[in-house]
Amino acid sequence: MVETNPVDPHSVTTLCFTSSDGVDLFVPAMDGHTKSWPALALADNQARIKIADEVYPILLELVTKDAMISQLAPMARRKFPDLDLPDPKSAPKDIWLFKVQPRISP
């Protein structure tokens, strides 16, 4: 889960992927322009992420508003080896990709 907007928290369940070296964590938002949480993250990048039973304070850094399936495929296949990805020509084009950065809790 990702929670944005610290003043009036807004939580969503979403996917996350690690980079090929396992160092960086990314959160995609398909059709990002239609969802509330990406806009809230752009207005204030302070957020929290829940992984298993732990909640971590984070910052969300927008990497792109047009991530391509070909960019996400290696990360997605690491997490979901049997996942069938759409053909790049018919795949969604409006995938916002956020990189998760550490934040020291106040």
Lookup: tokens for 46: 């302070």
CATH code of 41's domain = 2.30.110.10
Q: What is the pLDDT of residue 6?
A: 87
92/86 Cα distance (integer angstroms): 9
Q: What is the pLDDT of residue 101?
A: 94
What pLDDT is attached to residue 61? 96
The pTM (predicted TM-score) of the whole model is 0.82
> Which residue range(s) make up the domain with 69?
2-102
Low-confidence stretches of the chain (pLDDT < 70) are 86-88, 90-92, 105-106
How many structural domains is the chain composed of?
1
**Residues contacting residue 96 through CB under 8 Å, at least 6 positions apart:** 28, 29, 32, 33, 38, 62, 64, 65, 67
Residue 47 dihedral angles phi and psi, to the nearest 5°:
-150, 180
pLDDT at position 21 is 80
